Chains A and B, each alone.
Chain A
Amino acid sequence: MRRFKKNDLGGLLSNTVIQAALLLWVIVQMYPIFWLFMSSFKPSNLVRARIFDLPKSFYFGNYNFAKFNEEGITILIYLKNSAIVTGVSLVILMITSVLAAYGIAKLKVPGKNILIVILLALIGIPVHALMVPIFYFFVHLDMINTYWSLIFPYIAFNIPFAVVVLQTFFRQFPNEFIEAARIDGCGNLRTFLTIVIPVSLGPISSVCVVSFLGIWNEFLFSLVMMRNNAVKTLPVGLMGFKGRYVVEWGPMMAALVIAIIPTIVFYIIFNRSLLKGISAGAIKG
């Protein structure tokens, strides 16, 4: 990415009105999240009665997980479920996609062009349309309420994007290196693992980061598959707050904070790969 020009705003931003509008919009953009954090540290009666006030002292009563559990909202279990589903999905997704992308880019595969066209077409497929058949697929296998009923579909839905982006990258990898390794007696798999993978970690991590967000935040399939409280992922678990706590807002604020902190931390750490992955794939996560 080229360096941004310094102070090339010319007459554009000298206008105080524009500056004020920008500041106002930044407040609109950030205040809801700030308000969420702030409210989570206030006792419920003050969240609404003194809606704009900063908390006088940090009140941790809302972060009382035992109380959530009594209400049937087991935040820590949802977190664990989300972590397992996302982790396993990502590992299998990356292995299968990296292999397939390399195969398409560098090896002989029959019907290669048709394959690429199909993958491109599937990037935008609306997953709602697959919901009923996949639901009954798992009903027949008696696998509803299992992690696998989410993991398998999540892998499949993310493969087209991952393979298309990765194969574009592998294609640019010079054939001479692969040939040289082959002459030295490396098999295809060995060449792939020791020569290609180590220099491809950048794009691989970009794809991984984009897929992570998609899977971690996925809601619809989880809502359909996970009927049992013990296996719900975080987004579905949070729905337990809908229509509840009409008077008491504090606990829900705390739960939402816990729900968004993992992705905020993740965003801070992987900022660069994430932005790269998104513009490379030209696909909304």
Chain B
Amino acid sequence: MISKKEIREYLTGIAFVLPAMIFLILFVAYPVIQSLVLSFFKWRGVGPWKFVGFDNYIKMFTRDRYFFGAFKNTIIFTILMMSGEMTLGFIYALLIDLGIRGWKVYRFIFFLPVTLSQVAISLLWVKIFQQEGLVNALFGALHLEQFQHIWLGDAKFAMWCLIFVSWWQWGGWHMIFFLAGMQAIDPQIYEQAKVDGASTLRRVFSITIPLLKNVVFILIILCLIQGFKMFDLVYIMTTGGPAAATEVLGTQIYQHAFDVSKYGYASVLAVLMVAASLIVTIFYVRVSGYGQEALGE
């Protein structure tokens, strides 16, 4: 039997949790379910929904070459952006952890771009890569005219430009995670290695890097999740162009939904994105034990 007191306690608990739950139900759970339902219908924003079964899925997987391009680009972007950002973040963190002179200044500088609006950053870099922009002016000043290009208008370079901006902006974000990991390493391990005569470089490779395995794992997962969502940078700098060379899933979903009003078709992408991110997140929670203590083992 549940006593009256227990009921009161449960009601109090529910009252604390309820406001947050209402937001999640209305603006997360309900939209996810509606996207799932809508993906089986044809709907152009007005009129009744027309049930089409798996047609949207079949069409996307068999006939939509933009989908495959966007899918491939999303993977390439995610891997290349991640590896560069992570390498930079690691180097930043290592230099700071080793106590380089002025480390506070470096930490400030490297993290600064992370805090800035992606839109402002993207618009700024559009100007930098423009024909008369900073990059071409630099090559001009160095008399290296053969390297001048219309960077964002050339399918060969556009993707690398976006990747570079991402490295430039997000390296500092990775730095914070690596720093936290390095700070958690017991200094005595380093002292012992020093006594044993290991050089700084040796200590980095045989102590620091192996002990940062978990940080790298966390970062890879977070980058995968971020990768599915990529939108702002691409939309503003190239809008997926030139000739769909930088099209990603995020820009595709926006285009299907708000440029051509194919809401059912766009929902297929929505469902795929949610599924992918849930799989990655669940994998992450299981393997890392993140939030595990909250579950009381």
Chain A positions near chain B (C-beta within 8 angstroms)? 1-2, 4-13, 22, 26, 28-30, 32-33, 35-36, 48, 51-52, 95-97, 99-100, 102-105, 107-110, 113, 115-118, 120-135, 137, 152-153, 155-157, 159-160, 163-164, 167-168, 171, 188, 213, 216-217, 219-220, 224, 234-236, 238-239, 241-242, 249, 252-253, 256, 259-260, 263-264, 266-267, 271, 274-275, 278-279, 282-285
Contacts and interface: CB of A to CB of B under 8 A. Distances in A.
Nearest to B221: A124
Contacts of B10: 108-110
Contacts of B52: none
A11 B16 CA distance: 56
For chain A, what secondary structure do more than half of its interface residues adopt (helix, strand, loop), or is it mixed?
Answer: helix
B1 interface: no
Interface in B99-150: 99-101, 103, 106, 108-120, 123-128, 132-134, 137, 141
Interface in B243-260: 250, 253-254, 257-258
B274 A125 contact: yes
Contacts of A285: 114
A128 B115 contact: no
B23 A159 contact: yes
- The interface size bin for chain B is 35 or more
Interface of B: 6, 9-10, 12-17, 19-21, 23-24, 26-28, 30-32, 34-35, 38, 95-101, 103, 106, 108-120, 123-128, 132-134, 137, 141, 168, 173, 176-177, 179-180, 183, 187, 199-201, 204, 218, 222, 225-226, 228-229, 231-232, 236, 250, 253-254, 257-258, 263, 266-267, 269-271, 273-274, 277-278, 280-282, 285, 290-291, 293-296
A108 B176 contact: no
For chain B, what secondary structure do more than half of its interface residues adopt (helix, strand, loop), or is it mixed?
Answer: helix
B108 to A, nearest CB: 7
Contacts, number: 293
A188 B294 CA distance: 21
